Amino acid sequence: MKPKVLVARRAPAAVVDKLAAHFDVDFHPGESPLSPDELRARLQGKAGAYITGTERITAELLDACPQLKAVCTMSVGYNHIDLAACTARRVLVTNTPDVLTETTADFGFALLMATARRMSEGERLLRDGRWKSWAWDFLAGSDVYNSTLGILGMGRIGQAIARRGRFGFGMKVIYHNRSRLPAETEAELGARYLAKDELLRQADHLVLVLPYSAESHHCIAAAELALMKPTATLINVARGGIVDEDALAAALCEHRIAAAGLDVFEGEPRVNPALLTLPNVVLTPHIASATMPTRIAMATLAADNLIAALTGAPPPTPLNPEILTA
């Protein structure tokens, strides 16, 4: 008998077929995520779960699904999974690092450029028939080339954005991270480590790429925004909860910072209504990793993790590998 697994969201057909070769697959093909109650019901008797960032794995859910042995998420972020609760119950957790790094960095940089150069604002104006003439300051934004790129959270994606800034746009790179990078990585990126407040003061463009946790919740709020330059842009490709959106909307409205580019939101897919009315914010629906090759690579890696986890092989990218040896 094949082990039973739940595939909680649509996935590429080849990936579902691959899983079906190893498992008895219960597949949720819908466009919307299962509700928490539906997820609990569908996980009954399942040894494995293939999930995405839209399914929450809590201690209560784990207690209600004692057969569960592996949770494999098609995402690099895992703030939707209670990792400690999984580890305590010997449930293996895997994510999908690396395969999305460059694609996500491309998007982070695209969002930075669109925000600094007011691209969405210009397109809206043009489509609305409000483009009347030329003026010296018409849609004048801020420079990217030669400016100072601040990165909060210098992991794989932060470093990939730093490379784009330094080598593609001659930017001065400054960063803050929980732990400082090795000297040779700093030298390669030309990146200078600063205290968080100093990073906020000096950055022309501040990109948030840090993981979301209780520690990073609202780590950009009114006090932090007050330190930023009035000409600065703020870019968030990490998680919405890192930014206090009410404080950000107020800062944008009062031009205490110039603009923001946001791909992630605290209550997504709901967007704070205050942000929707502001012209100086570029809003995208959590698509930083959304290219077809990258999404296929993420889905394949999540499936390979699940197959390994339930067939006794070492999974490629475990988050709690200690349970494999303990």
Does residue 239 have an active-site annotation? yes
Give me the least distance between CB of 124 and ligand 8YV, in Å please: 25
- What residues numbered 37-56 form the site for ligand 8YV, per CB under 6 A? 52-53
Q: How many C-beta atoms lie closer than 10 Å to residue 22's C-beta?
A: 16
- What residues numbered 88-127 form the site for ligand 8YV, per CB under 6 A? 100
Short-list 279, 288, 273, 313, CA closest to 237: 288
List the one residue from 76, 173, 209, 275 that touches ligand 8YV (CB under 6 A): 76
Q: Is residue 77 near ligand 8YV by the rule CB under 6 A? A: yes
Count of alpha carbons within 13 Å of 190, Cβ hemisphere only? 15
Question: How is 38-79 classified by DSSP, letter by letter?
Answer: HHHHHTTT-SEEEE-TTS-B-HHHHHH-TT--EEEESSS--T
Burial class (CB in 10 A: 0-12, 13-18, 19+), 253: middle
- Listed ranges 74-82, 188-196, 198-206, 272-280: which one lies at the site for ligand 8YV (CB under 6 A): 74-82
Cis bond leading into 269, ω under 30°?
yes
Length of the chain: 326
Does residue 28 have an active-site annotation? no
Could you give the CA distance from residue 245 to residue 182 in angstroms, rounded to a whole number?
33
The contacts of residue 226 (CB under 8 Å, 6+ apart) are 251, 256
Q: Is residue 74 near ligand 8YV by the rule CB under 6 A? A: yes
Catalytic, out of 239, 245, 254, 322: 239
Give me the least distance between CB of 274 and ligand 8YV, in Å please: 23
- Listed ranges 10-18, 71-79, 105-113, 200-208: which one lies at the site for ligand 8YV (CB under 6 A): 71-79
Q: Is residue 258 near ligand 8YV by the rule CB under 6 A? A: no
List the one residue from 43, 61, 68, 75 that touches ligand 8YV (CB under 6 A): 75
Short-list 244, 188, 179, 254, CA closest to 217: 244
- Listed ranges 10-18, 22-30, 72-80, 246-254: which one lies at the site for ligand 8YV (CB under 6 A): 72-80
- Listed ranges 70-78, 155-163, 175-183, 218-226: which one lies at the site for ligand 8YV (CB under 6 A): 70-78
Does residue 205 have an active-site annotation? no
Residues acting as catalytic residues: 239, 268, 286
